[in-house]
Structure formats: structure tokens, C-alpha cells
Amino acid sequence: MSIGLKYKSKAHIFDEREKDGVPYLSFPILEDTGIVDHGFSTRLGGVSTGGCASMNISIHRGDDPAAVEENRRRIAAAIGVKPEKMVYSNQTHTVNVARVTAGDVGQSLPETDGMITDEPGLCLVTFYADCVPLYFVDPVHRAIGLSHSGWRGTVNKMANVTVRKMQEAFGSRPEDIVAAVGPSICRDCYEVSGDVAAQFKENYDPSCWDSLFSQKEGQKERDKYQLDLWKANEINLLEAGLLPEHIAVTNLCTCCNPDLLFSHRVLGWNRGNLSAFLALKEQME
């Protein structure tokens, strides 16, 4: 199927899937592990109205609670998870990563931008509207992680923190972990101020700077830069010890697709959120 998304390259990073009228995206690299159900939502297939139309499952966007509940049921059925086993992040641009257990189901975890678990059936859910989703699967120890990484999370290396938490909690080895960088704002669309660029220069080796920043005509005078969050998170994953062949990096920009994906840069505050989903299968195939 195709819903008309515009990709930045022809690389096969995503599969576009649909079930019962609910489209979602999946990563072949994660699907190939055989141990997870996962997905990334679009704006389509739900019942919400107004700025949240139509697939929003966040309770923090002013949406009708009944619509949110129905949307959760629909997207869960499409992906193959149980809505009553979802655990949600309440993100504040930290690098706080929580270990999730069955006692957390249905909860929105405060001050939490990342979650890890090794309990089958629990579905980790994080929220986006330009920031970067990070998926982690350890097929050896059967553990997963899902983290939200905006520019603050990225400059403070949320990817590295998540990998370290999985090592500590589950004995995961970085070389075994498979990771995906999900749909988010691209370098062409993401202008940041010089003080943001300065923080990246402080935390990243100078050899990386050219791959992270560029300046369009007129930006130097305004102290503005184009920042590549995709590349920054790829650098972080490699720095954390993941193998290049175990990393898939998005070629899909939320800001370039505002009709199909929520984008804060385009839509502002009157919008819903996209959601990332990741769960260990309850029954191994």
C-alpha cells in the first residue's frame, strides 16, 4: 500500500502497512528479529477531529478522551498489541529512562523520555511531532527499549543512555542490539539557533561537525544553522557500540509530510501527536 508519503531517498527503511483502515509504518530491520510487534502511526485511521484529526492517542493534546480511547484500540489492533498493556511516556526532554514492568500498564510515566523492558506483551509508547523516535531490540536477551530524542535528548545522547540502561538491566551487549531511528524532522527543515549548535559542538567531536551542521545563504548573519538530528543519533548509536549493519536511519521527514504526519514546526500547538509502539511478542513464532 501507499498513502502518499514523500521520502528523502529511495532507500527501503520502512514498510507502509494497513489493517482495517489504519495505516502505520514498520521497520524491516526490527521485523526481521522475529521477537517484536512494533509500528509508527500516521495522522490517518482515527476518529479525532480538529487539530488532532484523526489518529491521536495522546491525552495531553486536548483531545476528546473517548476519541483517544477508540484510536488506541484501533492502532493496537492494527499493530498486533493490546491497548490495555500499553505504557506511556510523559516526555519533558530529559534523558530519563525507566524500566517498565507489568505494574506500569496504563500509566503515563512522569519525567520519562525513554523506557526499557524484558516483559513480553508490554507495549512501550512514546510521542512525537518532529522529535526523533529511537527503537532498540536485543534479540539475544529478548529485551527492548523505546526513547524520545529531541535536540536536547540528542545533544545529551539519549541513544547512549538507553543502551547503557539495557546493559545494566538485562546484560545486553551493544553489538547484539538492533536499532532504528524513526520519522522526524530532517536537516533541510530544521533550523536552530547558534546556542543550540554550540551545545552540539561541545558534545560532539569536531570531525563530526560538518556532517551535523550547515548554513544556508543568509544564516551566518543571523547565527542560524541547519541541524541533522538523524546523523547525530546515528553517531550516538555507533558511539554506544552498535554495529553499522544493525542500524536503520529514517529517510522520512515529519515536516515534509504535514498532511500525513503531525509536525510541530508546521502545525504549531494545535495538533495531535504521532506515536511509536514497541512490544516483545507474547508468543514466539
Over residues 42-62, the pLDDT tens digits come to 999 999 999 999 999 999 999
10 CB-contact burial (10 Å; exposed 0-12 / middle 13-18 / buried 19+) = exposed
pLDDT: which is higher, 14 or 285? 14
- In angstroms, the CA 233 to CA 132 distance is 8
Kind and range of the H or E run holding 237: helix 229-239
Show the 3-state SS of 165-225: HHHHHHCCCHHHCEEEECCECCCCCCEEEHHHHHHHHHHCCHHHHHHHEECCCCHHHHCEE
pLDDT over 90 (residue 153):
yes
pLDDT value of residue 41 = 98
pLDDT value of residue 187 = 98
- The answer to whether residues 153 and 238 belong to one domain is yes
pLDDT value of residue 75 = 98
Mean predicted confidence (pLDDT) in 251-268: 98
| Owning domain of residue 206 | 191-227
Nearest by Cα to 82 from 121, 41, 119: 121
pLDDT value of residue 255 = 98
- The answer to whether residues 26 and 36 belong to one domain is yes
Contact yes or no for 90/107 (Cβ under 8 A): no
- The answer to whether residues 129 and 195 belong to one domain is no
Please work out, in degrees rounded to the nearest 5, the angle formed at the alpha carbon of residue 121 by the alpha carbons of 283 and 78: 90
Contact yes or no for 73/282 (Cβ under 8 A): no
CB atoms closer than 10 angstroms to residue 108: 17
pLDDT value of residue 188 = 98
- The answer to whether residues 239 and 221 belong to one domain is no
pLDDT over 90 (residue 123):
yes
Q: For all residues of the chain together, what is the average pLDDT?
A: 97
What phi and psi, each to the nearest 5 degrees, are found at residue 91? Answer: -80, 140
Instruction: Please tell me the total count of domains within the chain.
Output: 2
pLDDT value of residue 152 = 98
- The answer to whether residues 105 and 215 belong to one domain is no
pLDDT over 70 (residue 285):
no
Q: Is the pTM higher than 0.95?
A: yes
pLDDT tens figures, 135-147: 999 999 999 999 9
- The answer to whether residues 197 and 180 belong to one domain is no
Q: Is residue 81 part of a domain?
A: yes
- The answer to whether residues 145 and 27 belong to one domain is yes
Cite the beta strand spans of the chain per DSSP E.
Answer: 15-19, 22-26, 36-41, 86-90, 97-99, 108-110, 114-117, 123-128, 132-138, 143-149, 178-181, 191-193, 213-214, 224-227, 247-249, 274-280
- In angstroms, the CA 97 to CA 172 distance is 15
pLDDT over 80 (residue 130):
yes
pLDDT value of residue 34 = 98
pLDDT tens figures, 73-97: 999 999 999 999 999 999 999 999 9
The one-letter amino acid at 264 = H
Mean predicted confidence (pLDDT) in 63-78: 98
Q: Is residue 4 part of a domain?
A: no
Confidence of residue 157 (pLDDT cuts 50, 70, 90): very high
**In the block, which residue shows the cell 506515536?**
275
**In the block, which residue shows the cell 543550540?**
196
CB atoms closer than 10 angstroms to residue 188: 14
pLDDT value of residue 246 = 98
